[in-house]
Structure 1
Amino acid sequence: MAHRVSARYFGLKLGEALQAAAAAAQSSATASLSEALQRGMAAYRARLTMPMLIGGAAMAPTLNPKGASQPDAVEHLLVRLLPRPSERSVFAGDVVAFTSPLTLAVAAGPAGVAGLPLGGGGAAAAAAADQEELAERLRHSAMVRRVAAMPGDELVTGEEEDSESFVVPEGHCWVLADNEAMQPPHVIDSRSFGPLPLVNIVGRILYAARSESDHGPVENSEEGMAADAPVVEAELDIGALCGGGGGGGGPGEE
Structure 2
Amino acid sequence: MRNAWSLFRYASLRAKDAAAAATERLLKDGDLAEAWKHGERTLQQPFTRAAASRGEAMRPTIRGEKLLVRRVAAPGAWNVHVDDVVLFRVPEEEGGRTEVRRVAAAEGHEMLSTSEEDEPFRLPQGTCWVLADNEELDAKQVMDSRTFGPLPYQNVLGRVIYSYESDLDHGIVDNSEHVTTSDEVVLSQELDLKWLAQVEPIDIKQ
Q: Which TM-score applies when normalising by structure 1?
A: 0.73
Aligned residues of 1:143 and 1:253 also touching (Cα < 8 A): yes
Distance 1:28 1:192 in 2: 32
Aligned residues of 2:102 and 2:130 also touching (Cα < 8 A): yes
**Residue 69 of structure 1 aligns with which residue?**
none
Distance 2:13 2:76 in 1: 16
Aligned residues of 1:158 and 1:164 also touching (Cα < 8 A): no
User: Greater CA radius of gyration, 1 or 2?
Assistant: 1
The counterpart of 1:92, out of the listed 79, 82, 86, is 82
Displacement of 1:21 after TM fit?
3.7
Report 1:144-159 matches (<5 A): 144-159=100-115
The structure-2 alpha-carbon separation of the partners of 1:96 and 1:25, relative to structure 1 and needing over 3 Å to count, comes to closer
- Count of equivalent residues: 202
| Secondary structure at the counterpart of residue 62 of structure 1 | coil
| 1:8 matched to 2:13 | no
| 1:201 matched to 2:138 | no
**Residue 99 of structure 2 aligns with which residue?**
143
Distance 1:164 1:21 in 2: 40
Aligned residues of 2:21 and 2:74 also touching (Cα < 8 A): no
Question: What 5-or-longer segments of structure 1 have no aligned partner?
Answer: 65-73, 106-140
The structure-2 alpha-carbon separation of the partners of 1:41 and 1:188, relative to structure 1 and needing over 3 Å to count, comes to closer
Q: Residue by residue, what CA displacement relative to the aligned partner does 1:207-241 show, whole Å, maximum 9, x if unpaired?
A: 01111221010001000222312111111111111
- Name the % identity: 37
The structure-2 alpha-carbon separation of the partners of 1:211 and 1:169, relative to structure 1 and needing over 3 Å to count, comes to same
Report 1:145-184 matches (<5 A): 145-159=101-115, 161-162=116-117, 164-184=119-139
Displacement of 1:24 after TM fit?
5.0
The counterpart of 2:67, out of the listed 70, 77, 96, is 77
Distance 2:31 2:77 in 1: 30
**Residue 54 of structure 1 aligns with which residue?**
53
